[in-house]
Amino acid sequence: MASKDRNSRTRSNFEDVGRKIDDDLKQIIDYLNGEVVPKVRTQSSSALRKAAQQLQKLADYMDEHRQRPS
């Protein structure tokens, strides 16, 4: 009988831990989606714009300094 009680308590503890993990994971996912992802997108698009500006400057420089065929 004691073995069944122990198994039942162990199973209950595992179920409690599983629910806690599920709740924690949901909170983490909500945080990532609500806070981290928007910031990464904003910063990424800003970085791409800066890179595009630098590439435009490099292309202009290359055009200005292109060697003319003799």
Q: How distant is the alpha carbon of residue 62 from its chain centre?
A: 37
Model confidence at 67: pLDDT above 90: no
Q: What is the pLDDT of residues 14-65, one digit of tens each?
A: 999 999 999 999 999 999 999 999 999 989 999 999 999 999 999 999 999 9
Of 36, 39, 16, residue with least CA distance to 27 = 36
Q: Is 56 left (phi over 0), alpha (psi -120 to 50) or beta?
A: alpha
Distance CA 62, CA 45 (A): 25
Provide Rg for the chain, Cα atoms: 29
pLDDT at 3 over 90: no
CA dihedral sign, ordered 11, 13, 14, 19: positive
